[in-house]
Amino acid sequence: MARKDFDPATIAPDGRPSAQATLFDPEAGGPWRGFVEGAALGGAITVLTYGTDDVGAGPRLHVHPYDETFIVVAGKARFFVGDAVLDAGAGQVVLGPAGVPHRFENLGPGRLQTIDIHHSPTWIQTDLD
């Protein structure tokens, strides 16, 4: 499907060079496999990756002053976002709005793998438990 959402002639490049960073070492252990802050790349978002084989495991309850978007890459997770409880599987996306406490856990069976997009050039977080 071809898309033409805007006229490229109306956007001038801002002069930033392309950039590259390593998000995670595929051989590394542990659930938090890595992150790249947008500031390191000259971008506006920070990207984290989380993965665990342990059913029930997940990040602790926390909050950010910006939105966080979760992409479930593999497995199934239960997200607790404010008063909402959302189950999401591979290929689904969940939004944690700014200022709303949230966490998620692996529903199993098997591995849960997520990519977590922080809508900020730096990772800012307060743990609540």
List domains and CATH numbers for the chain: 30-127 (2.60.120.10)
Which is more confidently placed, 4 or 111? 111
Q: Indicate if the pLDDT at residue 75 is higher than 80.
A: yes
Q: What is the pLDDT of residue 1?
A: 81
Residues 6 or more apart in contact with residue 38 via CB below 8 angstroms: 44, 45, 46, 47, 120, 121, 122
What residue type is 40 in one-letter code? A
Residue 92 has pLDDT above 80, yes or no: yes
Q: What is the pLDDT of residues 13-64, one digit of tens each?
A: 888 888 888 888 777 777 777 899 999 999 999 999 999 999 999 999 999 9
Given a contact cutoff of 8 angstroms between Cβ atoms, the answer to whether 34 and 24 are in contact is yes
User: How far is residue 29's CA from residue 22's CA, in Å, rounded to a whole number?
Assistant: 16
Helix (H) or strand (E) holding 105: strand 102-106
pTM of the model: 0.88
The structure tokens 């590259």 sit at 20
Q: Output DSSP code: residue 27.
A: T
